[in-house]
Amino acid sequence: MDLNILKNLKLTKTTASKIDTFDFEDLKFGAKFTDHMLVCEYKNGAWQDLEIKPYSPITLDPSARVFHYGQAIFEGMKAYKDVNDDVWLFRPDENFNRFNKSAIRLAMPSIDETRFIGGLKELLKIEKEWVRKGLGNSLYIRPFMIAIENGVIASPSNEFLFCIILSPAKSYYSGKIKVQIADYYSRAANGGIGAAKAAGNYAAQFYPTKLAQEAGFNQIIWTDSTHEHLEESGTMNVFFRINDTLFTAPTSDRILDGVTRKSLIQLGQHLGIDINVRPMKIEEIVKAAQDGSLKEIFGAGTAAVVNQMEGFAYKEDYYQLPELANEDSYALQLKDALTKLQNKLADDPFDWTVKI
């Protein structure tokens, strides 16, 4: 960490905090934000001074590149508070490194650890009251970077804005979802930007997801270019349990390297669950659903941690998964173990949590 960068941080505090009237019980994910945000501009070939200021709109010229060519990336991470009121981050280095990988892929400048992690820690110190204690409570963190240079010239911007905003979150039981396996649309391409957290990846999946929702499903499980292998579910990585083995696809150009995914793999192994990372064929899970050996499917990502599925559609057929007692579900066991570790309600044998 470069302490000079943090010493030059410009801080303007709000005179009208929203915290006293904020309803922490009624939280729609990602809908409301805290009092302050972190911003930092990149220009003349360098990142400028960090600034923390009241949460407020960003004003840009209509010709700013982000509006035309979609040079935009983001991250998703969470902060947690323990019983002693200390605030913790979960594997922030993973998000920092992935942010820079996304930046490189989108021809954007990488950012230094001091501005990203150091800046975030300074912001969290100011917004400490917004992090609530208790299992499942967290503060969702959304770092992002956009191209702000003016001019509708189809070339990479030379100016960027890095920003972090914070949104209080609660993990509640959202119910099981029904998914449809993609057999026409794709989320990502070989050699494309699927492995980056690029804003455009989401834009590209809204329309097919809307069609799936109109057909009665909540999400899509994306497949590879030949629509033979199972890749990701919506905005999450995906796990399949056949008998007592948990399968998930290896990461690739098309599959995002999720922090939740890699943490669940390690945690599962630690808990004695048999985990197998290999490409999964649609054919295999259809067969397993038919012979009763397919026990669970679930998505894994920072926002929901784990999202259980009740069944999947493939082409004309729908396959219902069996009802499992909660204590027999790998999804729920893993979710419980990971959330307790993150909320500092259980040991962290992996040293994943970082105190701010």
Ligand X SMILES: *Cc1c(COP(=O)(O)O)cnc(C)c1O
Nearest residue (CB) to ligand X, 36 versus 261:
261
Nearest CB to ligand X, comparing residues 267 and 288? 267
C-alpha 266: how far from its chain's center?
A: 18
| Binding test (CB under 6 A) with ligand X, winner from 65, 261, 295, 344 | 261
- With CA atoms as reference, report the closest residue to 240 among 205, 289, 173: 289
Q: Which stretch binds ligand X (CB under 6 A): 131-139, 229-237, 268-276, 324-332?
A: 229-237
**In the complex with ligand X, which residue's Cβ is closer, 96 or 312?**
96
Residue linked to tokens 């809908």? 31
Considering beta carbons, is residue 50 or 280 the nearer one to ligand X? 280
Q: What are phi and psi of 213, to 5 degrees?
A: -65, -40
Residues 116 and 198: their CA atoms lie apart, in Å, by: 17
DSSP per-residue letters across 160-207: EEEEEEEEEEE------EEEEE-SS--S--TTSSTTS-BHHHHHHHHH
Based on CB atoms, which residue is closest to ligand X, 269 or 290?
269
Amino acid at 8: N
Binding mask 61-100 for ligand X (x = CB under 6 A): ---------------x------------------------
Are the C-beta atoms of 181 and 230 separated by less than 8 Å? yes
φ and ψ at residue 30, rounded to 5 degrees: 70, 20
CB of 74 to ligand X, least distance (A): 8
Among 71, 157, 209, 237, binds ligand X (CB under 6 A): 237
Residues in contact with 213: Cβ distance below 8 Å, sequence separation at least 6, in sequence order: none
Report which residue type is found at 43: K
Out of 212, 236, 265, 313, which residue is the one contacting ligand X (CB under 6 A)? 236
Interface of this chain with ligand X, residues 239 to 258, rule: CB under 6 A: 256, 258
Size of the site for ligand X (CB under 6 A): 13
Q: How far is the CB of 238 from ligand X (least distance, A)?
A: 9
Closer of 137 and 260 to ligand X (Cβ): 260
Cβ count within 10 A of residue 250: 10
* Binders of ligand X in range 283-342 (CB under 6 A): 301-302
Letters for 108-147 (x = contact with ligand X by CB under 6 A, - = none) are ----------------------------------------
Q: How far apart are CA 222 and CA 234, in angstroms?
A: 7
For residue 199, state whether it binds ligand X (rule: CB under 6 A).
no
Number of other CB atoms surrounding residue 141 within 10 Å: 24
Query: Nearer to ligand X by C-beta: 237 or 343?
Result: 237
197 touching ligand X, by CB under 6 A: yes
Within 8 A by CB and 6+ apart from 29, the residues are 140, 167, 169, 303
Q: Contact positions toward ligand X, by CB under 6 A?
A: 76, 197, 232, 235-237, 256, 258-261, 301-302
